Amino acid sequence: MPELPEVEVTRLSFASRIQGAAIRSVQMGKALRWPLGIDPDELQGLSVAAVRRRGKYLLIDLAAEQARSRGLLLVHLGMSGSLNFAHSLAEAGKHDHFTMVTTRGTLRLNDPRRFGAVVYASSEHDAPAQKLLGSLGVEPLSDDFDAAAFHAALRQRKSAIKQVLLAGDIVVGVGNIYCSEALFMAGIRPTVRACNISGPRAARLHQAIRAVLQAAVQQGGSTLRDFSSAEGKTGYFQLQAQVYGRAGEPCRACALPITLLRQGQRSTFYCAHCQKY
């Protein structure tokens, strides 16, 4: 599924192009994971003030002529969703479930599995937004991601470090691919209890999380199946992965085979030699 880097790449690919555009119409296809929460016709005439990201959610801020804010749209790409933004698009197909026509182009959500969503909220503090965003942890690419606070939070958790990172309530958006990569970079075995990680090792992991996510954004994310940005571009981070998806292949550092195990129904990849503790 699209993780934080893919969502950020998507945002960067259309945010500046759609900013300031007036909404001409909104059409909904088949029901998504959650309802829109507003009559689509009520969005007509509003403008796009900005496009932000919170974790794996895109936040499209809306404005009206006589008000600074008229709410926002929270967009989640689900398991297989992708956004496309272009001057004009063909007629919506069976997997196109949200189409927003604006004065600067058309934004469309394509989602074959329909686990994605577009939800309207009157503000980021409104109940629909808080239900989705309220429990999210710190943004890993922001200045709020503090190494000392990160270690203190890990000390309170007895679960395996990979499971703690995937939970997203300490630091948000470190999904399965990038979690495996960050743990390898930090030399930490994914099964070690979070509370047993020392301060120096937590600091290495803190740096690794930021480095891996930044590299992934620069590489356009990871295209394992069908991810592409809103411009139709695919990502290349998966080509430089150190452990993810490389079970049985030689470790790029020590040449021993990469190990695959299952944690919480997710595949975990690591090097038993380079990640001893």
Active-site residue list:
2-3, 56, 266
Task: Tell how far CA 255 is from the center of its chain.
Answer: 31
The answer to whether the CB of 195 falls within 8 A of the CB of 157 is yes
The answer to whether the CB of 256 falls within 8 A of the CB of 264 is no
Distance from C-alpha of 97 to C-alpha of 255, rounded to nearest angstrom: 46
Burial 174-198 (b: 16+ CB within 10 A, else e): bbbbbbbbbbbbbbbbbebebeebe
Give the chain's radius of gyration (CA, Å).
20
CA dihedral 81, 173, 144, 242 (to 10 degrees): -120
- 101 conformational bin, left if phi > 0, alpha if psi -120 to 50, beta if neither: beta
Token output for 52: 């932000």
The answer to whether the CB of 99 falls within 8 A of the CB of 40 is no
Helices and strands (DSSP H and E) totals, the chain: 6, 10
